[in-house]
């Protein structure tokens, strides 16, 4: 494929919102790490394919112009076919009944798609709905891996307590940096509540002790970013920092 062909493929395929990469990758990584199984690998392939389907879908609808609509439709067809085949493999390998936690993704996914249709993907509700959609996925990996319902749902709750506060904290930090209104207090309150809930889950043997320490680390990050001595980080640096913290959290919550 020529260089221009590679450039077109990246243009049609890769999401422009770099923060979405971590929000999608962390739940998949947590599910595979905590409850590895062949069915989970197939599910990861299906979810990954659907993640890359959004931008071709936008081109297909004419949302990004009509110049590349035909190649976008071809690419969308290939992606959805791959996603369907991977999901079929997950159901056959792990049992269709064990895919039931995937139903939990439908409410937040519906909210996100509705806001996306109105070009409001930058709204707080849309970003939290997108984060919640992916954050519920570890429960599916867990049931495919043979976990019981309580443990599976607890894993999803732990991921939610990472993803949703992260959205609020980063939004507040970036808004403050741009001089706009910054909802600092709600972001800090949700971060503190996340620490309390993860600690309670750990006390009930439904989360790892390391996950509690990771939640405290994320709380300290929130206090640093939103406190009186907040750093002046650029968006790429902030994204790198958050990605590193995401890896730490996934390892802490998934191992053991």
**Where is pLDDT greater, at 178 or 166?**
166
Give the tens place of pLDDT for each residue, 188-219.
999 999 999 999 999 999 999 999 999 999 99
**Where is pLDDT greater, at 14 or 56?**
56
**Where is pLDDT greater, at 132 or 236?**
132
Q: Which of 21, 14, 19 is nearest to 173 (CA)?
A: 19
Using an 8 Å Cβ cutoff, are 170 and 127 in contact?
Answer: no
Q: Report how far residue 247's alpha carbon sits from residue 116's, in angstroms, rounded to the nearest whole number.
A: 28
**So what's the pLDDT on residue 1?**
44
Q: Report how far residue 120's alpha carbon sits from residue 118's, in angstroms, rounded to the nearest whole number.
A: 5
Give the tens place of pLDDT for each residue, 16-31.
666 678 889 999 999 9
14 has a pLDDT exceeding 80: no
Percent of the chain at pLDDT exceeding 90: 64
Q: Which of 166, 143, 174, 173 is nearest to 156 (CA)?
A: 143
Residue-range domain boundaries for the chain: 1-145, 148-256
Using an 8 Å Cβ cutoff, are 50 and 13 in contact?
Answer: no
Residue 37: Cβ-neighbour burial (10 angstroms; 0-12, 13-18, 19+)? buried
> What are phi and psi for residue 2, nearest 5 degrees?
-70, 170
How remote is the C-alpha of 17 from its chain's centroid? Answer: 12
DSSP letter assigned to residue 65: B
**So what's the pLDDT on residue 178?**
81
65 has a pLDDT exceeding 60: no
Give the tens place of pLDDT for each residue, 108-160.
999 988 888 787 878 889 899 999 999 999 999 999 999 999 999 999 999 99
**So what's the pLDDT on residue 56?**
83
Q: Is 204 helix (H, G, I), strand (E, B) or coil?
A: coil
pTM for this prediction: 0.90
Residues in the chain: 256
Structure tokens at 49: 């394919």
Contacts of 221 (CB under 8 A, 6+ apart): 169, 241, 245
* Helical axes 149-177 vs 124-135, angle rounded to 10°: 150
């Amino acid at each position: 494929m020529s260089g221009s062909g590679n450039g077109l493929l990246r243009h049609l395929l890769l999401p422009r919102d770099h923060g979405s990469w971590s929000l999608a990758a962390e739940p998949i990584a947590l599910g595979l790490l905590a409850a590895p199984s062949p069915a989970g690998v197939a599910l990861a392939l299906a979810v990954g394919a659907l993640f890359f389907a959004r931008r071709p879908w936008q081109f297909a609808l004419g949302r990004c112009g009509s110049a590349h609509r035909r190649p976008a439709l071809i690419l969308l067809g290939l992606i959805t076919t791959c996603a369907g085949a991977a999901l079929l493999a997950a159901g056959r390998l792990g049992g269709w009944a064990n895919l039931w936690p995937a139903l939990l993704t439908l409410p937040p996914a519906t909210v996100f798609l509705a806001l996306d249709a109105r070009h409001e993907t930058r709204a707080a509700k849309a970003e939290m709905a997108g984060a919640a959609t992916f954050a519920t996925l570890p429960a599916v990996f867990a049931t495919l891996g043979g976990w019981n319902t309580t443990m599976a749902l607890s894993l999803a709750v732990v991921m939610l307590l990472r993803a949703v506060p992260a959205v609020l904290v980063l939004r507040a930090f970036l808004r403050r940096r741009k001089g706009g209104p910054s909802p600092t207090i709600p972001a800090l309150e949700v971060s503190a509540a996340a620490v309390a809930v993860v600690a309670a889950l750990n006390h009930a043997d439904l989360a790892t002790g390391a996950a509690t320490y990771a939640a405290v680390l994320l709380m300290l990050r929130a206090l640093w970013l939103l406190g009186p001595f907040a750093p002046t980080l650029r968006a790429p640096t902030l994204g790198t920092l958050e990605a590193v913290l995401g890896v730490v959290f996934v390892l802490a919550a998934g191992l053991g």
